[in-house]
Amino acid sequence: MKYLGLHDIRKEFLKFFESKGHLILPSFSLIPKNDKSLLLIGAGMAPMKKFFTGEEVPPAKRVTTSQKCIRTGDIDNVGITDRHATFFEMLGNFSFGDYFKKEVIPWAWEFLTVNLEIAKEDLWVTVYHEDDEAYNIWKDVIGVPEERIVRLGKEDNFWELEVGPSGPCSEIYVDRGPEYGSDDERPGGEGERFIEVWNLVFTQFDKDEAGNYNPLSHPNIDTGMGLERIATVLQKTDNIFEIDAIKDIIKRISEVSGTEYGKDDKLDISFRVITDHIRAMTFMISDTIVPSNEGRGYVLRRLIRRAARHGRKLGIKKAFLSEIADLVIDSWGVEYKELVENKDSIKEIIRREEEKFLETIEQGLVRLNSHIEELKENKKNTLAGKDAFKLYDTYGFPIDLTEEILKEEGFKVDMAAFDEEMNIQKERARSAREDSNIGWSNQEDKNLFEGLSNEFLGYEVDSCDAKIIKIISNNEEVESLSEGEEGIVVLDRTPFYGESGGQVGDTGFIYNDDFKLEVIDTKKTKDELHLHIVKVVEGQATKTKVKAEVDYKRRNNIRRNHSVTHLLHKALKEVLGSHVSQAGSLVMEDRMRFDFSHFEAMTKEEIEKVEARVNEKIFEALPVKTTITDIDKAKEMGAIGLFEDKYHDVVRVLSMGDYSTELCGGTHVKNTSEISMFKILSESGISNGVRRIESITGPAVYNYLNSLKSEQEEIASELKSNKDEIVQKVKANVKSLKEATKEIERLEHDLAKDQISGITDSVKEVNGIQYVTSKFENVDVNTLRDLADEVRNKVGSVVVLFATVNDGKLNFVCAVSKDLVAKKISAGNIIKEVAKVAGGGGGGRPDMATAGAKNIDKIDEALDTLTKLL
């Protein structure tokens, strides 16, 4: 067996399959693209599902990758065992309708036995029990003895996700020898002796949501070999934490914590948790995921917080994770360049999240401990879901952390109730989700437009001659549309932009001498067919020659608003960091909004800086250039944008001077100076980790300035001031208002005081207890309390009960002197009974209490209760 380092195995694998005619693709992002069935990529084939089903054309029929993967199903076991991990890399080779079993099996064998020099006698294989073809290839072509080919059922040898490409598979195992288990052990069992290293999937089906296995038109190959797993075999280590590159992480943690690995089983768990989670978090952030309370962001938050807590178990007091991330970036960055490119923001995001967590963890722990005490006292063993949710929501305790800590003490969480609270919150976040940019389609329309296409001229011109080739009314093809009717019109060529990429559709007119159509909106189908939603304003529309004319004034504003998204995107990256990436946008005539990933609200200074930067680039009058090119060139040009959906397409790269280069299909200005001016109107959060900027350009800024001006004039006239002095005038007014309010309060107090001088003379007595009652008007509760206090001081031994009606609200105040409190007369109890009479409630201390009530007409009756109570 050959000893190879982790990073060398990856290289060797890709090179091997390149030599077998495969195209090496870089790992896809951990964020699935256009796939709602997955939260994170967890297998090499997951980002390529559409190549298997034929929905998309792959860049080559043979592809090989090392794919970064996250699987969180076993997160609770990570660290506790030395086998589980959330982050791993999957080596794979894929055939999209090209080669099949008789090629892939010999290649896998060759790679393991020749390149990695694993002894043939140590290799076992399993096949799907009905798959004689694979069985025979292993037996006859490769020559594996029959006793080392095991037939297994669907549970073991059929690979599938919830939905999508699936099929029978064949797995390759390495026998680790008798020191790991008895000779009776077989692959696929529970024992430790056989370790599965490679899964060859013969992808023949597309499983749908109903669970049907629909045969694919051509069979495919999908293989997956866990990189870390094969490294443990080659490096003869017992577990993934002893592999070369991963061992370095443990060493770094050991240095930072001053604790040694391998000395204490409990502490070793913490070492392993951090070692696994640090790789997961580094790669996730590098793929633009930011910590949040939802979806992927929550997975990330959980990983960071879990790792942070285990750092404390190792005795580390301060934030340390970003320092460990450094090592991951340096080591894995050789293969994954994005780690190096995003180094600063990766470290910054980890540091902030960890520090934030450390700030609250103490408070949260105190709270959790008091819950634990309560549970013990009440002899209960389950923490209420809403308490667990509060810990999660307010103190940032991931639920698994709460569970973990409770479990250590023998308690659990009411998870059903917790989930319910969580769902409520998720629903809130979901409604704020970004707009999708999928093409316009309507099931019924699909057939109507089949086979049609049209040329889009709108990048170059605002109007052109064209021919109407189809007219639709109420989902049916028609020959004509009469005056007043609405419908859909297809042209052979069009300058109208169809809503897509966040840019709204064009409006305008389609006309000739006989009729005139108003274009209310333009949509685009998935097949790029432009559909004009029209209303006939004159004549009868037929399939003839026409002139198509976009409302160019509106279009110009849309252009300004679209072009400025590019400047804004770049400026945000400059000011906030490279982690910022576009999450959605809406480009309209009168304004635009831009959603982007960022973990906190922008400060006023940051907003000003971004706005200033964008305007600077407008004033520099940068030329805007479109280059139509292929994906590799676009990357060379440094273009940002979603590359992964666009392997085989030609792409449009839009550059603005040297400042911004971005993939884009929208319509744009020819020079940034046409944008005229840019103004941010608001910055807000729309869901966790996603912010939104709303802004205006050009004429809208001019209108905005005008409305500010008239507002200013209106204020000036109200203030009877001149425009230039309004700020001083407002300040002066606020000041005198404050003084006047104080004066009113003082006068009211004096007035009430006058009233109480009479009150002290009206002391009554019952059962040897002195008391006074009185009614006030327009005296607030605080003042009333002072007055009650004053009366109590003056009289000495007394119960004071006051009522006041203020702004239509009734309030009571009760004060009891110390000697009477000692005799168990309580203001709190009195006020409760008194307020009850007037339909209210309240309470307080034994010496002073207040209450509110509704029934003002019961005021006397309520005050009279005091005598009875005493």
Binding residues for Zn(2+): 562, 566, 664, 668
What are the distances in angstroms from CA 609 to CA 565, 568, 669, 674, 692? 16, 11, 23, 21, 16
d(CA 114, CA 759): 106
The residue sitting closest to ligand SER, measured at its beta carbon, is 224
Residue 817 near ligand SER by CB under 6 A? no
Closest approach of Cβ 138 to ligand SER, in Å?
A: 18
CB of residue 134 to ligand SER, shortest distance in Å: 15
Binding mask 254-293 for ligand SER (x = CB under 6 A): ----------------------------------------
Closest separation between CB of residue 664 and ligand SER, Å? 34
* Total residues binding ligand SER (CB under 6 A): 10
Tell me if residue 780 falls in helix, strand or coil: coil
Q: Taking CB under 6 A as the rule, does residue 224 contact ligand SER?
A: yes
**Torsional sign, CA 571, 572, 578, 584:** negative
Question: 389: which 2 tokens?
Answer: 């949710």
Q: Which CB, 43 or 413, lies closer to ligand SER?
A: 43
CB nearer to ligand SER: pick between 198 and 456: 198
CB closer to ligand SER out of 124 and 440: 124
**Token output for 242:** 């002893």
Judge residue 19's burial from the number of C-beta atoms within 10 Å of its C-beta, 0-12 exposed, 13-18 middle, 19 or more buried: exposed
Give the residue with the Cβ less far from ligand SER, 158 or 496: 158
Specify the stretch interacting with ligand SER by CB under 6 A; choose among 41-49, 265-273, 357-365, 851-859: 41-49
Minimum CB–partner distance for residue 165 and ligand SER (Å): 9
Q: Which is nearer to ligand SER, 17 or 357 (CB)?
A: 17
Name the pairing type of β-strands 769-777 and 651-656: unpaired
Which segment (77-85, 219-227, 269-277, 351-359) binds ligand SER by CB under 6 A? 219-227
Q: How far is the CB of 472 from ligand SER (least distance, A)?
A: 43
Question: Which part of the chain contacts ligand SER (CB under 6 A), choosing from 39-47, 539-547, 607-615, 742-750?
Answer: 39-47
C-beta closer to ligand SER: residue 13 or 497: 13
Count other C-beta atoms under 10 Å from residue 366's C-beta: 11
Among 30, 43, 587, 803, binds ligand SER (CB under 6 A): 43
Nearest distance from residue 158's CB to ligand SER, in Å? Answer: 11
- What is the full DSSP assignment across 800-830? EEEEEEETTEEEEEEEE-HHHHHTT--HHHH
Query: Exposed, middle or buried by CB within 10 Å (0-12, 13-18, 19+), for 406?
Result: buried
Classified as helix, coil or strand, 541 is: strand
- Whole-angstrom CA distances from 170 to 130, 131, 200, 214, 656 are 11, 9, 5, 20, 52
Q: Least distance to ligand SER from the beta carbon of 312, Å?
A: 35
Report, in angstroms and rounded to the nearest whole number, the Rg of the chain calculated over CA atoms. 37
At closest approach, how far in Å is the CB of 139 from ligand SER? 23
User: Residue 758 corresponds to which tokens in the numbers above?
Assistant: 């009479």
Interacting residue with ligand SER among 44, 47, 398, 840 (CB under 6 A): 44
Going by the DSSP 8-state scheme, the letter that residue 565 receives in this structure is: H
The tally of CA atoms less than 13 A away on the side-chain side of residue 737 is 6
- Per CB under 6 A, the segment of 218-226, 564-572, 748-756, 852-860 that binds ligand SER is 218-226
**Nearer of residues 222 and 611 to ligand SER, judged by Cβ:** 222
Residues 132-161 that bind ligand SER (CB under 6 A): 159
Q: Which is nearer to ligand SER, 216 or 534 (CB)?
A: 216
Element (H, E) at 63: strand 62-70
Which residues are annotated binding-site positions? 562, 566, 664, 668
Q: What character string, x for contact with ligand SER (CB under 6 A) and - otherwise, covers 71-110? A: ---------------------x------------------
Rank residues 100 and 459 by Cβ distance to ligand SER and give the closer one.
100
* 119-135 residues labelled b (16+ CB within 10 A) or e (exposed): eeebbbbbbbbebebbb
Is residue 572 classed exposed, middle or buried when 0-12, 13-18 and 19+ CB atoms within 10 A define those classes?
buried
Specify the stretch interacting with ligand SER by CB under 6 A; choose among 114-122, 220-228, 521-529, 782-790.
220-228
For 161-192, give one letter per residue: b (16+ CB within 10 A) or e. Answer: eebbbbbbbbbbbbbbeeeebeeebbbbeeee
Q: Which is nearer to ligand SER, 201 or 568 (CB)?
A: 201
What mask of x and - would describe binding to ligand SER in positions 484 to 503, judged by CB under 6 A?
Answer: --------------------
| Beta carbon nearer to ligand SER, 43 or 816 | 43
Q: Is 660 in the site for ligand SER (CB under 6 A)?
A: no
d(CA 563, CA 557): 10
Under 8 Å between Cβ of 673 and 567: no
- Residue with smaller CB distance to ligand SER, 158 or 392: 158
Q: Which residue has the tokens 């940019």?
A: 437
H helix intervals, 596-670: 604-619, 631-636
Q: How far is the CB of 166 from ligand SER (least distance, A)?
A: 9
Judged by beta carbon, residue 223 or residue 597, the one nearer ligand SER is: 223
Residue 223 near ligand SER by CB under 6 A: yes
Q: Least separation, in Å, of the C-beta of 49 and ligand SER?
A: 10
Q: Which positions from 588 to 627 touch ligand SER by CB under 6 A, shown as an x/- string?
A: ----------------------------------------
What is the closest distance, in whole angstroms, from the C-beta atom of residue 159 to ligand SER in the complex? 5
Say which DSSP state 448 is in: H
Nearer to ligand SER, 135 or 198 (CB): 198
Q: Compute how many other C-beta atoms are within 10 angstroms of the C-beta atom of residue 466.
A: 22
Q: How far is the CB of 73 from ligand SER (least distance, A)?
A: 13
Q: Is 45 in the site for ligand SER (CB under 6 A)?
A: yes
Provide CB contacts within 8 A for 869, sequence distance 6+.
830, 833, 834
Binding range to ligand SER, per CB under 6 A, among 221-229, 406-414, 455-463, 512-520: 221-229
Tell me the backbone φ, ψ of residue 526, rounded to 5 degrees. -60, -30
Minimum gap (Å) between residue 191 Cβ and ligand SER: 20
Question: In whole angstroms, how close is the CB of 170 to ligand SER at the nearest point?
Answer: 11
Backbone torsion region of residue 258, taken as left when φ is above 0, otherwise alpha when ψ lies between -120 and 50, otherwise beta: left
**Nearest C-alpha neighbor of 240 from the set 2, 9, 1:** 9
We find the least distance from the C-beta atom of residue 224 to ligand SER, in angstroms, to be 2
State which of positions 305-334 bind ligand SER (CB under 6 A).
none
H/E segment holding residue 503: none
Tokens of 54: 């034929």
Alpha helices, DSSP H, located in 526-551: none
Among 199, 220, 655, 687, binds ligand SER (CB under 6 A): 199
| x/- track of binding to ligand SER for residues 414-443 (CB under 6 A) | ------------------------------
How many whole angstroms separate alpha carbon 125 and alpha carbon 746? 93
Integer Cα distance of 650 and 168 in angstroms? 36
Residues found near ligand SER in the complex (CB under 6 A)? 43-45, 92, 159, 199, 201, 222-224
